[in-house]
Amino acid sequence: MTTKHIPGSYEDNASEIRRAIGLRLPPSLVFSNEFSVSPRPRLGSFEVTLQPYYSHISHELYSKTSRGGFPTADEIVEQAASLLLPERIVFSKSASLKLNLQDSYFR
């Protein structure tokens, strides 16, 4: 099995994913080539994992070796958001909310 290596392709993809996560999930910390990851990725791999702040468990979001190509930034952000962001917020006590929306155009 051979792979065609294009110089800078790994860095470009990592930068695009880092930028997209920063825009959509701003409180996230993104690390590249973290050497404490175990097991170590194979040569030629491009793997994206997610580890929530409250957990010691990492979730694999993408593996280039198993899928055969680079992920899109949108694909990674959607997968991360589905694990991190709740579909709805549930309050422990009933709370009444008052929302006021004003548009200066109609004043």
Helix, strand, coil percentages, rounded to 5, for the chain: 35, 10, 60
Express as a percent the part of the chain with pLDDT over 90.
20
CA–CA separation, 69 and 10 (whole Å): 11
- The reply to whether 37 falls in a domain is yes
- The reply to whether 45 falls in a domain is yes
- The reply to whether 105 falls in a domain is no
pLDDT for 94 beyond 80: no
Residue 105: predicted pLDDT: 46
- The reply to whether 83 falls in a domain is no
- The reply to whether 13 falls in a domain is yes
> Which residue range(s) make up the domain with 62?
9-78
- The reply to whether 98 falls in a domain is no
- The reply to whether 106 falls in a domain is no
| pLDDT tens, position by position, 30-74 | 888 776 666 677 778 888 988 887 788 888 899 888 888 899 999
Number of compact structural domains in the chain: 1
Global pTM? 0.68
The pLDDT of 3-32, averaged and rounded, is: 85
